[in-house]
Structure 1
Amino acid sequence: MNSALDTVFAALADPTRREILRMLLEDDMAVTDVAYPFAMSLAAISKHLAILAAAGLISQEKRGRVKWCKLEPDALRAASVWMQSFGQFEPVNLDAFEAFLAQELTQTELPEGAP
């Protein structure tokens, strides 16, 4: 389970991916519609979508010539349960959580004996 949870949190660490999830809360979307508001290539958006799909946060389905994306809300259940177990994360501020994780990762990557 830790590996799956790690994958979900890694996917949520990126603001573009969080925005894609927010967009998919409204309805299923074609990949081109997902890409439209972002100032990046379709290939870059496809990479973000692949990460979200690998984490189980979205599913993708081909309908005719168009690839559609659908939010998989149950995928966040384990992450939500994990965060709620701390009791201090009533409304989750994912941006603050991202900053915390970045700081933790920086500290763990320092060479031994570094301040």
Structure 2
Amino acid sequence: MVQQSTSALDLSFAALADATRRGVIEQLGQGEASISMLADRFQMTLTGMKKHVAVLERAGLVVTRKTGRVRQCRLGTRGLAAEAQWIEAHRALFADRFEALDDILDELKQERCHDLPEQ
């Protein structure tokens, strides 16, 4: 079970690591678009855009369907809930660690003030 979850997260984060693919997600948030329209929008070749869409599709973030010679893209229904949950858990972990570090630094400052000779 953990292996599947990690694999899905890996696919999602790898897909979202690229600025063009994040842009495609944003564009599709406004509605369906053909791969050729996306290629024009991002000033790239049709082949290049097909590769980006394939990565997004493999991660479940985009769904495509072919109508005649045109491949239409839309956002997938999976969403990013698991990714958001992972990020939140790690954000909380870091917040706790930084809070503990702040406590240690405060203690060290207090000790230093007590160790200084009075003038």
Q: Same fold (TM over 0.5)?
A: yes
Larger radius of gyration: 2
Deviation of 1:65 after TM superposition, in Å, equals: 2.1
Which structure's relative contact order is higher, taking Cα pairs within 8 Å and 6+ residues apart? 1
Specify the alignment match of 1:3 in structure 2.
7
Residue 35 of structure 1: aligned partner? 39
Q: TM-score, normalised by structure 2?
A: 0.69
The normalised TM-score by structure 1 is 0.71
1:63 Cα deviation (Å)?
A: 1.5
Kindly report the root-mean-square deviation, in angstroms, between the aligned alpha carbons of the 2 structures. 1.3
Match of 2:61 in 1: 57
Q: How many residues align?
A: 88
Classify the secondary structure of the residue corresponding to 1:36. Answer: helix
Spell out, residue by residue over 1:35-80, the C-alpha distance to the aligned partner (whole angstroms, 9 max, x if none). 1122221100110000000010001101222110010153312111
Which AA in structure 2 matches 1:44? G
Amino acid at match of 2:78: D
Separation in 2 of the partners of 1:77 and 1:63?
30
Give the aligned partner of residue 113 of structure 1. Answer: none
Structure 1 unaligned blocks of 5 or more: 89-115
Bigger proportion of residues as helix:
2
Distance 1:86 1:2 in 2: 14
Pair 1:24 & 2:28 matched: yes
Give aligned-pair identity as a percent: 39
Q: How much does 1:87 deviate?
A: 4.1
